[in-house]
Amino acid sequence: MERNDTTGSWDSIVIGGGAAGMSAALTLARARRTVLVVDAGGQSNLVASGIRGLIGHDGRSPADFYAAGRAELAAYPTVDVRDGTVTRAVREEDGTFRAVLEEHGDQRAKTMVLTPGMEYRRPQLPGLDERWGGSVFHCPFCHGWEVRDRRLAVLAEGAVGVHGALNLRTYSDRVTLLTNGAELTGPQRDQLAAGGVGLDERPLRALEGPGTDLRAAVFEDGTELPVDALLVKSYLHQRSSLALDLGATLTGSNEMLGVEAITVDAMGATGVPGLYAAGDAATSVPPSVAAAVASGYLAGAAASVHLAAGY
């Protein structure tokens, strides 16, 4: 089976060329389905020094990982990966899907898999952005090992901050929760004390250090707290309205994860016939490359089964 580049008609269009999208495309390709992958780039983990916790690829650079994925997909004649942006997506009256691409015009498919990744919104604090993905991070399971036994801090407030700081104690016995002016409750203070976690509720002015390294958190009063690495609470948001435009729903924000994820079942089905979603955009668990690969595989398999049933 060969892809049909002339009519712009496919078995499936995968929107997003990150870990979940390439995993879904690979699964569909191996089921001999014609697949168009539209990749807008800008994967959120490209700033990280390496992918962590993905067996067989632990420490591999994200850029290298994505390049290898594209090379693997290129071996399948039914797959086409194109750099571009889907500006609009529509489910037609006959149940098929139409994607409007800035660079490649209209493309149509019998199924669609949404894997656009998510936008990470983090606190606005001078010195934070240039250290993001290195000495400032958002996932202890992805980066905690690399900063083990160092002077660590958590920037968050309330129950989220307490949870994050206690969890970070796995990696170091020197952990401080920074609430940036927000006050904790008495029971929350007791939790931190019992867990051996320090607390500083003063407002912050900036993060400082040589280059992209972190040396200290600076408070508004000019005093400093020595810090080698900082865990920051960030909130994940959809990058576009495509899911909602196609009739899918969002789960709403989660206090701990801050994820407004696309609602899916265990196989990535959105409830809209033929529409699937995977990766960070459709997760209610801590995001990771490992989880994205797994969910992409399931969504791709489900889309192929949908096609086989003749819908």
Instruction: Please name which of 250, 257, 13 lies closest in space to residue 114, comparing C-alpha atoms.
Output: 13
Question: Are 212 and 141 contacting, i.e. CB atoms less than 8 angstroms apart?
Answer: no
pLDDT of residue 282: 95
With a cut of 90, say whether residue 257 has pLDDT above it: no
Considering 93-107, 247-261, 268-282, the range whose residues carry the highest mean pLDDT is 268-282
What confidence category does residue 1 fall into, taking pLDDT thresholds of 50, 70 and 90? Answer: low
pLDDT of residue 309: 93
What confidence category does residue 8 fall into, taking pLDDT thresholds of 50, 70 and 90? Answer: confident
What confidence category does residue 3 fall into, taking pLDDT thresholds of 50, 70 and 90? Answer: low
Structure tokens at 198: 């320090």
User: What's the whole-number average pLDDT of the chain?
Assistant: 94
Class of residue 100 by CB neighbours under 10 A (exposed 0-12, middle 13-18, buried 19+): middle
With a cut of 80, say whether residue 26 has pLDDT above it: yes
**Average pLDDT of 251-258?**
74
Q: How far is CA 252 from the centre of its chain?
A: 16
Superfamily in which the 123-232 domain is placed by CATH: FAD/NAD(P)-binding domain (3.50.50.60)
How far is the C-alpha of 268 from the C-alpha of 281, rounded, in Å? 11
What confidence category does residue 5 fall into, taking pLDDT thresholds of 50, 70 and 90? Answer: low
**Average pLDDT of 247-273?**
89
The CATH topology of domain 9-118+235-308 is FAD/NAD(P)-binding domain (3.50.50)
pLDDT digits over 212-223, tens only?
Answer: 999 999 999 999
pLDDT digits over 99-108, tens only?
Answer: 999 877 899 9
With a cut of 60, say whether residue 4 has pLDDT above it: no
| pTM attached to this predicted model | 0.93
Complete DSSP assignment for 216-268:
EEEETTS-EEE-SEEEE--EEEESSSHHHHTT--B----TTT-B-PBP--TT-
pLDDT of residue 102: 82
Structure tokens at 229: 């690495």
Percentage of the chain exceeding pLDDT 90: 88
CATH 3.50.50.60 residue ranges of the chain are 9-118+235-308, 123-232
**Average pLDDT of 56-75?**
96
